[in-house]
Structure 1
Amino acid sequence: MIQKRSSPQLIDYLTLVALSLIWGTSYILIKRGLEVFTPAQVATLRLGISALALLPFAVVHLRKISWSQVPLLIVIGITGTGLPSFLFPFAQTELSSSLTGMLSSLTPLCTFIVAYFIFGSREGSNRQLAGVLVGLCGAILLAWAAPGVTGQTTRFLYTGFILMACFCYAISSNLVGAYFKETSALTITVTSFVLVGTPALIWALSAGAVLDVVLSTADGAGWWALGYVAFLAVFSTVLSSVVFFRMVQRTGAVFASTVSYIIPLVALSWGLLDGEALSYWQLPAVALVLVGVWLSKR
């Protein structure tokens, strides 16, 4: 039986740092994939390769779940990976990878909102509710101050895609914490990913015409893009999800979501190294978001 800890230990904080480094790199990998593939191709490849990587474990772990758990596992797969895999590439057609990574720090706020209003966790205080407002104000400023040729209306629209993805993550982590405390993290990952990723892989290889794109690009650009998405799928999706779900079981959904504290810094670093612009207003905007996250966790 998996025992939930009363308070996070050193190993939990080290895990947060490792996950932050892995997930903070995801946005530059998506950017590289979009240089060759469409957003839908990036998403379905990510989901399909994830399912393919976990397929050898499916026979064992599918036997560990009951039919009554399948609907919830499908929801966890859709919200935890399925929808975000589409939302982030579509957002990054108009937003920089660094901005996308910084906006993803809203996940803890969304986790608190979902836990409070949907899962009935009434442990929130006025300070935590104020933190949600501060964080959302920071996100608005972050999108408004973003440099680039894209208009503000477009930036706010595509920022909405990131917010939707954050709420998807919040729903997934709360479902794991509420209904699968006694289930192996690997079982959760294998079953939810295979259920969602298998149809995506079939589409990518048929109507998605992914192989045609890879073979038709010059100088091996298609193979490089495929490699970036494969790395994104195996490390940033599969392995990190196993670790994350396990951490949710050990420490709870809200603590586990604090991985988003460091993700913006990693994403920002990759963006600057890749030549992306940064405005002065974005730094205090990120600070507001992180202060809001801190207040919401008090």
Structure 2
Amino acid sequence: MQDRPTVMDFLTLIGLSLIWGTSYILIKWGLDVFSARQIAVLRLGLSALALAPFAVTHLRRISPGQLPVLLLVGLTGTAIPSFLFPIAQGHLSSSLTGMLSSLTPLCTFLVAWLVFRNRPVREQVIGIVVGLMGAVLLAYVTPGEGTQSSQLAYAGLVLAACFCYGTSANLVANYFRDLPSLTITVTSFFLIGLPALIYAFTAGGVVPTVQEAGTAGWWALVYVTILAVGSTVLASFVFFRLVQRTGAVFASTVSYLIPVVALLWGLFDDERFALLQLPAIGLVLLGVFLSKRK
């Protein structure tokens, strides 16, 4: 049985939202030097490197028959989104990307309904419709460099990443209920991240890119390292610990705080803001709230 949330749990929740909400501005700053592909392989590779000390212990707990599904968990929960987010952010503001990522719980439910046949109640179906309407409105009204149609297209990549996260979560819930969450995290990250690390520092061209960019290159590498170690590895550990202490319902409220952090970082970095973004993100969060109703 989980404990009632303490003051420390609330502080942990705020800290977690700051870590995850900051990841989008880190991607933006990394894109000043690196390509989207380089950011993705660096994020995956450095995450695997950070988890290396835990790999041997946790890999021993995995049976050969579990590896294919764990590989799919790693692809959908880590690898594919690591590419989709920087590609999208080459054309979208970091704040818009962060706000759209709050659709992840809604997408998780939608995958559970369509793929794993979890029957929804009426409020959940309404939540899906409301949340998707909010996402379209958010992409449409947010100021950007491209046309509104191009913003909608790249917002679709963020939505695809959210569906990837939702697929990964459902795979874990349906196939690995008895496997420790840290074992799942370490194994899935390591299966994907180790090849990415080798690629990043060989054919990936990371070293020449850093050398050519000089000081800016080293700063970009710092941003991506923080993204990998902080917003990916550390945040995963903290989140799972929070779930164990307080339960999934309390921990999942981080979804409502991440867009706020992403928006504040965007304003700090002089990204343009439209007042219509507020009701749009309100619709998204309302949709997420309704999709969690039982």
What TM-score do you get using the length of structure 1 for normalisation?
0.92
**Between the two proteins, what is the percent identity of the paired residues?**
62
Q: Does 1:208 align with 2:208?
A: no
Question: Residue type of the partner of 2:103?
Answer: L
Structure 1 segment 132-281 matched on structure 2, within 5 A: 132-218=128-214, 220-245=215-240, 256-281=251-276
Contact 1:111 1:253 in 2 (8 A): no
Rounded to whole Å, the distance in 2 between the matches of 1:21 and 1:14 is: 11
Deviation at 1:243, TM superposition (A): 3.3
Rounded to whole Å, the distance in 2 between the matches of 1:66 and 1:47 is: 23
Deviation at 1:21, TM superposition (A): 1.5
Q: Does 1:108 align with 2:105?
A: yes
Instruction: Assess, with a 3 A threshold, how the Cα gap between structure 1 residues 58 and 81 changes in structure 2: closer, same or farther.
Output: same
Deviation at 1:254, TM superposition (A): 7.1
Question: Residue type of the partner of 1:210?
Answer: V
Instruction: Assess, with a 3 A threshold, how the Cα gap between structure 1 residues 237 and 83 changes in structure 2: closer, same or farther.
Output: same
Rounded to whole Å, the distance in 1 between the matches of 2:193 and 2:65 is: 20
Rounded to whole Å, the distance in 2 between the matches of 1:149 and 1:27 is: 17
Aligned to 1:85: 82
Rounded to whole Å, the distance in 2 between the matches of 1:175 and 1:16 is: 25
Deviation at 1:259, TM superposition (A): 2.3
Question: Residue type of the partner of 1:69?
Answer: Q
Question: SS state of the match for residue 278, structure 1?
Answer: coil
Aligned to 2:68: 71
Instruction: Assess, with a 3 A threshold, how the Cα gap between structure 1 residues 109 and 259 changes in structure 2: closer, same or farther.
Output: same
Question: SS state of the match for residue 181, structure 1?
Answer: coil
Contact 1:23 1:236 in 2 (8 A): yes
What TM-score do you get using the length of structure 2 for normalisation?
0.93
Please tell me the root mean square deviation across aligned C-alpha atoms, in Å: 2.0
Question: SS state of the match for residue 283, structure 1?
Answer: helix
Deviation at 1:186, TM superposition (A): 2.0
Rounded to whole Å, the distance in 2 between the matches of 1:255 and 1:119 is: 24
Identify unmatched segments of 5+ residues in structure 1: none
Question: Residue type of the partner of 2:47?
Answer: S
Structure 1 segment 38-57 matched on structure 2, within 5 A: 38-57=35-54
Contact 1:46 1:233 in 2 (8 A): yes
Question: Residue type of the partner of 1:292?
Answer: G
Rounded to whole Å, the distance in 1 between the matches of 2:61 and 2:195 is: 22
Contact 2:144 2:151 in 1 (8 A): no
Contact 1:185 1:242 in 2 (8 A): no
Q: What is the aligned residue count? A: 291
Contact 1:184 1:246 in 2 (8 A): no
Alignment partner for residue 20 of structure 2, among 23, 48, 57? Answer: 23
Deviation at 1:80, TM superposition (A): 1.0
Identify unmatched segments of 5+ residues in structure 2: none
